[in-house]
């Protein structure tokens, strides 16, 4: 069964891409993911905050007149997930040398500024494409929705200006008009959309009156939000579309592709089940497609987009009342 798909102009052997997460921090685990069948990997994000912190430290060293040889000892070298800009580029180069699948760099930031130059450095380090995550929680009452959108547009425009590799934008679902934002992103040259960012919700500890950050992995229920917007946007954009959030099984991947996804990222499922989950998912997809007499994956790609679905109203408001009425007491 031919599961090939085109994503960001890259030919992928199948639609399953490892999304940005800690599995991308070790060359060995990326080799395992490739061996298990991953078609591409998005490396964990390099954050604007990390880039700016490294730049500040470099400036402090310079103004303190410290010798070059000592400089390395001043730079942050945090343990664990986030490794800082210099090491990020080294890691990217090492991953490129170790695997054949496309490697997508990820930049995460919210303001227009010098940090976006790292997109060029990622390109030079061998990234096949870039994913830009503009994870932003607008807390200021003076900032309008239009300004929030413009910020995303400006960051994407700056990165597009800097690089010649494809650039996708990992979006939040919380925009007033996603189709309009998508249209504007396409107009400035964005090559793809990744839908959607999962916002990590802090909990409240009522005993200690405290806000508790805790990270919960996704469940397949979260896919539905993605399915609707994939179906809506795939009917009106030429950009590549990736699903992220709630894809755990072969059925989930098939649903996302039917709604218009060109690739489907997995993170939680791989953190729970390990890299071999990819191989099992691909086997189950092949079985299902063969059983349903598809000749290849491309045949079903977008078959349930708003433009092609037999019942497109099911994605829209028209179905809302009907659905509420269907609840049986
Ligand atoms: C531990 C962890 C680390 C993550 N790190 C990043 C990151 O660095 N950049 C990013 O854009 N998304 C990051 N994500 C979000 C994932 O890429 C993905 O979008 C999200 O987990 C939803 O997909 P899933 O339902 O398959 O888990 C992270 C998720 C997890 C669980």
pLDDT 10s digits, 54-76:
887 877 777 776 544 444 433 44
Domain span at 226: 5-325
Distance (Å) from CA 19 to ligand 1 centroid: 6
Cα 53 to Cα 70: distance, rounded to the nearest angstrom = 17
157: CATH: 3.20.20.70
What is residue 319's predicted lDDT score, i.e. its pLDDT?
73
Give the tens place of pLDDT for each residue, 254-281: 999 999 999 999 999 999 999 999 999 9
Residues with CB under 6 A from ligand 1: 19-22, 44-45, 106, 108, 133, 170, 198, 215, 217-218, 244-247, 266-269
What is residue 113's predicted lDDT score, i.e. its pLDDT?
83
Distance (Å) from CA 266 to ligand 1 centroid: 9
pTM as predicted: 0.92
Place of tokens 């494809």: 166
Tell which atom from ligand 1 comes closest to the C-alpha of 222: 25
For residue 286 the two structure tokens come to 């092949």
Q: What is the average per-residue pLDDT within 104-117?
A: 89
Asked if 306 and 231 touch (Cβ cutoff 8 Å), the reply is yes
Flag whether pLDDT at 130 surpasses 90: yes
Distance (Å) from CA 323 to ligand 1 centroid: 32
Distance (Å) from CA 169 to ligand 1 centroid: 14
Q: What is the average per-residue pLDDT within 121-143?
A: 93
Cα 146 to Cα 26: distance, rounded to the nearest angstrom = 39
What is residue 214's predicted lDDT score, i.e. its pLDDT?
84
- Angle ∠(116,119,121) on CA atoms, nearest 5: 115
326 vs 241, more confident:
241
What is residue 76's predicted lDDT score, i.e. its pLDDT?
41
What is residue 296's predicted lDDT score, i.e. its pLDDT?
98
Mutate to test the pocket of ligand 1, among 18, 19, 214, 265 (most ligand atoms within 8 A of CB): 19
What is residue 329's predicted lDDT score, i.e. its pLDDT?
80
Give the tens place of pLDDT for each residue, 6-50: 999 999 999 999 999 999 999 999 999 999 999 999 999 999 888
Q: What is the average per-residue pLDDT within 195-204?
A: 90
What is residue 318's predicted lDDT score, i.e. its pLDDT?
64
Q: How many structural domains comprise the chain?
A: 1
For residue 130 the two structure tokens come to 């870039």
What is residue 66's predicted lDDT score, i.e. its pLDDT?
52
> CB neighbours of 266 closer than 8 A, spacing ≥ 6?
16, 17, 18, 19, 247, 248, 277, 278, 281
Under the banding of pLDDT at 50, 70 and 90, the label for residue 86 is confident
Distance (Å) from CA 44 to ligand 1 centroid: 8
Flag whether pLDDT at 298 surpasses 80: yes
- φ/ψ region of 209 (left if φ > 0, alpha if ψ in -120 to 50, else beta) reads left
Under the banding of pLDDT at 50, 70 and 90, the label for residue 313 is confident
């Amino acid at each position: 069964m031919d599961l090939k798909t085109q994503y960001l102009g890259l030919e992928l052997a199948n639609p399953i891409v490892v999304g940005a997460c800690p599995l991308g921090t070790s060359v060995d685990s990326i080799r395992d993911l490739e061996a298990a069948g991953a078609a591409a990997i998005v490396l964990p994000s390099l954050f604007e905050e990390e880039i700016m912190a490294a730049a500040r430290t470099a400036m402090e060293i310079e103004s303190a007149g410290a010798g070059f040889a000592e400089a390395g000892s001043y730079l942050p070298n945090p343990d664990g997930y986030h490794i800082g800009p210099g090491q990020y580029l080294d890691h990217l180069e090492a991953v490129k040398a170790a695997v054949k699948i496309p490697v997508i760099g990820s930049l995460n930031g919210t303001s227009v500024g010098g940090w976006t130059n790292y997109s060029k450095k990622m390109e030079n380090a061998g990234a096949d494409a870039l994913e830009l995550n503009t994870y932003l929680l607008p807390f200021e009452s003076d900032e309008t929705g239009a300004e929030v959108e413009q910020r995303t547009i400006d960051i994407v425009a700056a990165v597009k200006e800097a690089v010649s590799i494809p650039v996708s934008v990992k979006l939040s679902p919380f925009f007033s008009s996603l189709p309009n934002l998508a249209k504007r992103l396409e107009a400035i040259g964005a090559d793809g959309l990744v839908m959607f960012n999962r916002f990590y919700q802090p909990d409240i500890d009522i005993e200690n009156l405290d806000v508790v950050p805790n990270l919960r992995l996704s469940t397949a229920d979260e896919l539905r939000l993605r399915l609707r917007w994939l179906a809506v946007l795939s009917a009106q954009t030429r950009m590549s579309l990736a699903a992220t959030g709630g894809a755990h099984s072969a059925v989930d991947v098939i649903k996302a592709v039917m709604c218009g996804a060109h690739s489907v990222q997995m993170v939680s499922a791989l953190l729970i089940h390990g890299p071999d989950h990819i191989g099992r998912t691909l086997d189950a997809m092949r079985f299902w497609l063969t059983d349903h007499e598809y000749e290849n994956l491309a045949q079903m790609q977008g078959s349930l987009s708003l433009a092609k679905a037999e019942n497109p109203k099911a994605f829209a408001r028209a179905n809302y009342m009907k659905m509420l009425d269907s609840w049986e007491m």
